[in-house]
Each structure stands twice: as C-alpha cells, then as structure tokens.
C-alpha cells in the first residue's frame, strides 16, 4: 500500500509541477469555462443554466490571467486566483439564485434544496425529518418523490433556518451549505499551511498566497482548486449543495488527522456521517488509520458517537420512517424510483442485463470486501494513504452503484487531489509540533 501510495503521489506531483503548475492551471480554467458555456446553452435544468451564465465569466477571466502569467513567467498568485475564482464561480451564482428564488422566481434551486428544507420543517414541527411510507403513499403520485428524504437526520439542520424564519435569501439551505463548506475548507487549508514561514507578498517571489496571507504549497493550491474551482463542485454548491459540506468536513477530518488532532478529526467526519451516508467509508478508513496510529480512543467517540446520537430522535419518533427513507428508497424498494440514473457501469448492468440489479449489487459488495481485506492486511499509515483509499474506493462504488449521479464524482476527485497536500513536509512539521506539545501530559 505504501509503495502504491508513493507512486500515486509522485505522479500527481509531477503533473502539478509541469510549467510551474501553470500548464495544469490553464487546462483547468479553460475546461471549466467551456463546461460553464455548454451548461448555460444546453442544460435542461434551469438552475444549472443560470449557474453557467454567471460562472462562465470568472472562469474565462482566470484563463486569460493564467495565459498572462505564463507569458510573464511568474508563479505568484496561484492560490489567490484559485480562491477568487471559486468565490465568483460558486458563491456569487449561489447568492444570485437564492435572491431570485426568494423574490418568487422559479427554477432557481435543485430538488435537493427543497428536500432538505422540508426535512428541517418536519424536524421543527414533528420531531423527525422523515415521512413514513403511509404518509408518502397518501401524497399525489407526482409528489411522492419529493416526500422522500434519503439523507441522515443531521442534514435537516440546514433546513431549520427557512423553517424557523421564513422565505428569505439567507434562509436558503444552500447558503448554510456554503457557510459550512467554506469554514471547513478554510480551516483544513490553515492546518496544512507552512509553520513559522514569512508570508509572501503578491508580485514577489514565493509561494501562492492563501486568504490568510501565508504561502501555499503547490500541492495545496491544487487541493483548493479541486473543491473551489472544478466545475462539478462549483455547480453543485451553487445549485444544490448538499454534498459539499459533507465533502469539506471529510477533508477537514483528514487535515486534522494529519496534524495529530484525532479527537477533532472524529467530530468532523462524524458530523459528515450524521448528514450523509457517503461519509461512512471515510469514517471506516480513518478508523483504521487511527487504530494503526494508536489514537482510536480519541477518534472513535466523535466519529461513531455523533452519527448515532442524531439517529436517536428519529428512531424514537418513527424508526420505520427512517428505514423507508434512508435504506429502502436508495436500494430501490421505495414507492417511487430514484431519479439518480447516470450511465455508469452499475446502472447499465442493472438496466440491461437479466438480474442486472442483483449483479451490480454483487459487484459492489465484492469490491467493498476486497477493499476491506486490503485495509486489514495493509492498513494506511498516514493521511495521504487514507485519502487515496477513500478516493479510489468511492470511485469504484460510484461506478458500480445501480442508482448514482454524475455529480458524486466530486468525492473521489477531491480525495485524490488532496492526497499530495496531506503528504507535505508542512503536515509532518505540524504533527511533530502537536505531538511535542502533548507529550508532557501523557
């Protein structure tokens, strides 16, 4: 595992170093601009079209700026450009769509936003964010899909502002998705920043800057771009958004684990798992790493205890409603079929082969078993190994799940892109400092 990890990280680092990182930057921003243009012109989803019409311009401007930097042969400002482009391509369209929606304009939010807000309303008034099977069956046929809430109970927290205060732009669930995403991402970046090094000024030699004025390593710049700039992430945050806080909390957990803060790492990934099942594989991988590191006692209470804690109210009020929404519906046993039907191998197998759903499920289970056996026999020894296992494992799962979405690819993209940043010397220095600070108390 360690040898495979080192090879993968070295490959990513070689790609990143080409042209001082500018070659990959140019490719990223140009592809993003093309993606936004195509989305604005051809998407059948109105929120996506609105996003593309706005995001096209910051992506195009970033492309032009990178060309200018290549011509001037300057390497400064890459981090600042990544953060700025992320704000303009994700947060600005999000606020515009939220304001338009609050003003009565339709087609300015994906269905996930409405589902989460209804979860918050039910939690506030009924004590559980879920409708039971009978209640869903009583809805008109064309409304039954929206009656399902296939998330963990913690996701309902993002819908509470609208349930409590009414229809304002700032009560839109996406705004609170963004608050958690930006906060977790900024903290993760801060944890991985150089320790005790002077900040570089724009226009001078030195590393690209973070918003905090400290030089960012090239690997960390690429990690930020993977979440803030990549169109699949910016589009998701602006129009739907529920995956981004889960992803950001998982990345924060990896950064916390890298720097030896295992108790906080458990709380971060536990909060992610309390919102969406996609975080559970990350919990499992980090638990193995915590066991290998001898820190599982610090990690376990938050990582496992927090998801269990948020389940208690839902089970006490209506356990069957939870099972209907979070277990039966995603497995295809609900009253309606999930609209998640991206043409990945698992979906194609399920749709076009005899007994295809069972076959795809079997392949998914077999893959999970192989990964679990490998984790036991060759457990990850550092956060980089853990991030790579999460990335490749989730990629395999997304490709084999019978009902999945193209947007879920943001998870493996981010984990694989963050792996080199977690391996940096900065992380090891921070870990050494944290360990030294704790040693007198042991």
Contact by Cβ (8 Å): 38, 59: no
pTM over 0.75: yes
Domain assignment of residue 439, yes or no? no
User: What are the Cα distances from residue 184, in Å, to 42, 120, 187?
Assistant: 33, 22, 5
Domain span at 94:
2-198+206-428
Q: Is residue 381 classed exposed, middle or buried when 0-12, 13-18 and 19+ CB atoms within 10 A define those classes?
A: middle
Which residues does residue 215 pair with via DSSP β-bridges, in sequence order?
A: 209
Domain assignment of residue 380, yes or no? yes
pLDDT tens track for 165-210: 999 999 999 999 999 999 999 999 999 986 654 433 333 334 555 5
Residue 309 DSSP SS3: helix
Question: Tokens for 328?
Answer: 């039966």
Q: Residue 405: what pLDDT?
A: 80
Domain assignment of residue 442, yes or no? no
Considering Cα of 253, then 256, then 260, then 261, what sign does the dihedral take? Answer: negative
pLDDT tens track for 402-425: 777 888 899 999 999 999 899 754
State the DSSP code for 209.
B
Domain assignment of residue 9, yes or no? yes
Q: Residue 204: what pLDDT?
A: 37
In the block, tokens 């001082």 appear at 20
Spans in the chain with pLDDT lower than 70? 1-19, 75, 194-215, 340, 424-442
Q: Which residues contact 309 (CB under 8 A, 6 or more apart)?
A: 274
Give the dihedral of Cα atoms 241, 159, 301, 280; nearest 10 deg: -40
Domain assignment of residue 433, yes or no? no
Residue 215 DSSP SS3: strand
Domain count, the chain: 1
Domain assignment of residue 216, yes or no? yes
Contact by Cβ (8 Å): 236, 243: yes
Residue 277 Cα to chain centre, angstroms: 12
Domain assignment of residue 72, yes or no? yes
The DSSP annotation for 4-59 comes to: HHHHHHHHHHHHHHGGGGHHHHHHHHHHHHHHHHHHHHH-SSHHHHHHHHHHHHHH
Domain assignment of residue 435, yes or no? no
């Amino acid at each position: 595992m360690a040898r495979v990890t080192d090879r993968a990280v070295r490959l990513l680092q070689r790609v990143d170093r080409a042209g001082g990182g500018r070659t990959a930057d140019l490719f990223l921003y140009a592809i993003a601009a093309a993606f936004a243009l195509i989305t604005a012109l051809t998407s059948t989803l109105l929120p996506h079209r609105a996003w593309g019409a706005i995001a096209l311009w910051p992506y195009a401007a970033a492309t032009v700026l990178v060309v200018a930097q290549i011509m001037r042969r300057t390497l400064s400002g890459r981090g600042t450009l990544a953060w700025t482009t992320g704000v303009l391509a994700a947060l600005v369209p999000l606020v515009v769509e939220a304001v338009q929606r609050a003003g009565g304009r339709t087609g300015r939010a994906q269905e996930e936003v409405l589902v989460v807000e209804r979860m918050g309303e039910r939690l506030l008034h009924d004590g559980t964010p879920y409708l039971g099977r009978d209640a869903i069956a009583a809805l008109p046929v064309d409304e039954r899909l929206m009656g399902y809430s296939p998330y963990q109970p913690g996701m309902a927290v993002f819908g509470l502002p609208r349930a409590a205060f009414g229809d304002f732009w700032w009560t839109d669930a996406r705004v609170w998705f963004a608050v958690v995403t930006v906060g977790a991402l900024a903290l993760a970046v801060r944890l991985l920043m150089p320790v005790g090094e002077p900040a570089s000024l724009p226009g001078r030699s030195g590393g690209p800057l973070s918003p905090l004025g400290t030089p960012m390593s090239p690997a960390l710049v690429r990690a930020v771009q993977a979440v803030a700039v990549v169109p699949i992430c910016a589009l998701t945050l602006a129009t739907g958004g529920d995956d981004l806080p889960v992803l950001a909390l998982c990345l924060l957990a990896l950064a916390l684990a890298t720097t030896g803060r295992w108790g906080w790492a458990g709380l971060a990934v536990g909060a992610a798992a309390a919102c969406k099942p996609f975080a559970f594989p990350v919990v499992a991988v980090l638990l193995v790493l915590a066991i290998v590191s001898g820190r599982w006692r610090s990690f376990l209470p938050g990582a496992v205890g927090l998801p269990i804690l948020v389940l208690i109210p839902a089970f006490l009020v209506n356990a069957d409603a939870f099972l209907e929404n979070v277990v039966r519906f995603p497995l295809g046993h609900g009253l309606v079929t999930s609209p998640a039907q991206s043409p990945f191998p698992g979906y194609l197998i399920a749709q076009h082969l005899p007994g295809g759903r069972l076959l795809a499920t079997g392949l998914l289970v077999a893959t999970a078993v192989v990964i679990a056996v490998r984790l036991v026999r060759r457990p990850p020894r550092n956060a980089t190994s853990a991030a790579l296992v999460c990335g490749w494992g989730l990629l395999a799962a997304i490709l084999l799940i019978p009902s999945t979405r193209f947007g879920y690819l943001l998870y493996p993209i981010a984990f694989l892109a963050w792996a080199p940043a977690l391996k940096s010397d900065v992380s090891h220095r921070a870990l050494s400092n944290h360990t030294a600070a704790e040693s007198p108390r042991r």
